[in-house]
Amino acid sequence: MTYTILLIGVLLFLGQVFSFLFEKTRLPDVLPLMLLGMLLGPVFHLAGPEDFGGAGQIFTTVALIVVLFKSGVDFRILSLRGAVGQGLLLTTVCFAVITLTTAFITQRVLNIPQLYAFIIGAIVADNSTAVITPMLAKLQVSKTAKTVLFLEANLTGVYSIVLALALLSAASHGGQVSAAEISLRVVKSFGLGIVFALAAGVFWMGILNKVRRLENAISLTFAFVLLVYSVSGLIGGDGAIATLAFGVVAGNTRLVRRLWLSKFDLSHLLSLNHGEKAFFDEVEFILKTLFFVYMGICMRIGRVDLLAIGFAVAFFKLVFRAPVVNYCVSKTVSRGDASVILAMCPNGLVSAVLAAMIASQLPEEGAVIQDVIYAVIFFSVLLSNLMSFRIEKGGLKWLGKAMFGRHKPDEVPAPPEQTSAPEPTPGEAAPVPEQDNPPQEFPAPGNPPQV
């Protein structure tokens, strides 16, 4: 037990170090954390998934709850107003293309049911905001490109969660009922979860001012999020969707007040303050650090075929993303910015948690799906990091010319102008050029020169 506590402390400390290096060097902290987990697990066999027992499942569920709630809080509905054009178009079309192509590839290669292949596609189509943001900070791109990327990362997270959970719910009843009944159950569970979450969100945001007067009040919001997830499942709703919807309400209370203020008195609704958001950021950091190490421990690196499939899926995600970026992003965006938009598609914590959830609910093919998605996460982060590094150093110009010919060329900075001496005006003496050697000084008359 002492060594376990020591290991957790060391991992959290290393997680902070890797996060700091991520901000300074642009090396994503996901990679060293996963590599550390591989060393602890499949390489030196110091730990294995069986060592965690039921705690591994509880840890995965709590991580899923926090990720869902944070995704909802960070999703700003009002931000869609300025990006209904190319940002929303790129997000929707790219998500659909990546989902379909990934499902087609994995179904043929893994020989799994089509429904399971679409689950993989829905998870792979997600982009991680946590990985994209620090990499973008090192690149000089236009404000339009940054807005499009942030909108895409936030929306794809919601798309991926909703579609993957809907398909997973359908897969859990696959061989027992008809397709119509499956659809009815999914709609019912989602509907109950969303309605319950909306009511719970309005209730909690309404009493939040009174809750803050209590001691240790910040942790009560976290406790209420756990209640929303569990109670929604008990009443027949989908706990994951309820948690996501509750986060959306908590992050968009201003919009809720604006929509319903004429019918109900919702002026007392509050938003999460800085301290509460910082608390959830810390919880997410702890879970992210431990979970990516847990991912590395769970990876079966002996299955080289699954690693190769994960690399191929990550590579083809970039390949099929290129034409979508070319035609869905305005041609006024430069080729360099389009190349950055192409590169910024790594998977992250949302994909990892969904993969672990699938592995627990689909015991037969779930382990294979989890290994493939874990490999996709590793290689997608690696490829995105390498491409952003080359773009930062001025490389990959050929990629912009080949893939984004309809976009405007990158602006080449003009060379500095050489200033020349002004010509003398008529009647003005020309300036005397400076002499390299200073004039010799002669001694004054009557003073002999000193030897």
8-state DSSP, 43: I
Structure confidence at residue 442 (pLDDT): 45
CA distance 125 to 314: 10
CA distance 127 to 160: 9
Q: How many other C-beta atoms can be found within 10 angstroms of the C-beta atom of residue 38? A: 19
Q: What is the DSSP secondary-structure string of 108-126?
A: HHH---HHHHHHHHHHHT-
Structure confidence at residue 224 (pLDDT): 95
Tell which residue, 189, 132, 193, has the closest CA to residue 387: 132
- Contact, 34 vs 292, CB < 8 A? yes
* Per-residue confidence in pLDDT tens, the chain, 451 aa: 787 788 889 999 999 998 888 877 777 888 899 999 999 999 998 888 877 766 778 888 898 899 889 888 887 777 666 555 778 889 999 999 999 999 999 999 999 999 899 999 999 999 988 888 777 777 788 888 888 888 888 788 888 988 888 888 888 766 555 667 767 777 888 889 889 998 998 899 888 888 888 888 889 999 999 999 999 989 988 888 899 899 988 888 887 777 755 555 555 667 788 888 899 999 989 998 998 999 899 888 888 999 999 999 999 999 999 999 999 998 888 999 999 999 999 999 889 989 988 888 887 788 899 999 999 999 999 999 999 888 878 778 888 888 898 888 877 555 555 555 555 555 555 555 545 445 444 444 445 544 4
Q: What is the DSSP secondary-structure string of 281-349?
A: HHHHHHHHHHHHHHHHHH--TT-HHHHHHHHHHHHHHHHHHHHHHHHHS-TTSBHHHHHHHHH-----H
User: Under the phi-then-psi rule, with left for phi > 0, alpha for psi from -120 to 50, and beta for the rest, what region is 418?
Assistant: beta
CA distance 64 to 53: 18
Tell which residue, 368, 383, 387, has the closest CA to residue 30: 383
Q: Is 59 exposed, middle or buried (0-12, 13-18, 19+ CB in 10 A)?
A: middle
- Which pTM value belongs to this model? 0.80
Structure confidence at residue 362 (pLDDT): 82
CA distance 437 to 181: 98
CA distance 320 to 419: 50
CA distance 121 to 97: 9
Structure confidence at residue 449 (pLDDT): 47
Residue 408, CA distances (Å) to 122, 330, 338 in order: 32, 10, 10
CA angle 398, 331, 317 (to 5 degrees): 60
CA distance 109 to 120: 13
Q: What is the DSSP secondary-structure string of 189-252?
A: HHHHHHHHHHHHHHHHHHHHHHHTTSTTTHHHHHHHHHHHHHHHHHTTS-HHHHHHHHHHHHH-
Q: What DSSP element (H or E) covers 366?
A: helix 366-392
Structure confidence at residue 202 (pLDDT): 87
8-state DSSP, 177: S
Structure confidence at residue 340 (pLDDT): 92
Amino acid identity, position 148? V
Q: Is 111 exposed, middle or buried (0-12, 13-18, 19+ CB in 10 A)?
A: exposed
Structure confidence at residue 310 (pLDDT): 96
Amino acid identity, position 237? G
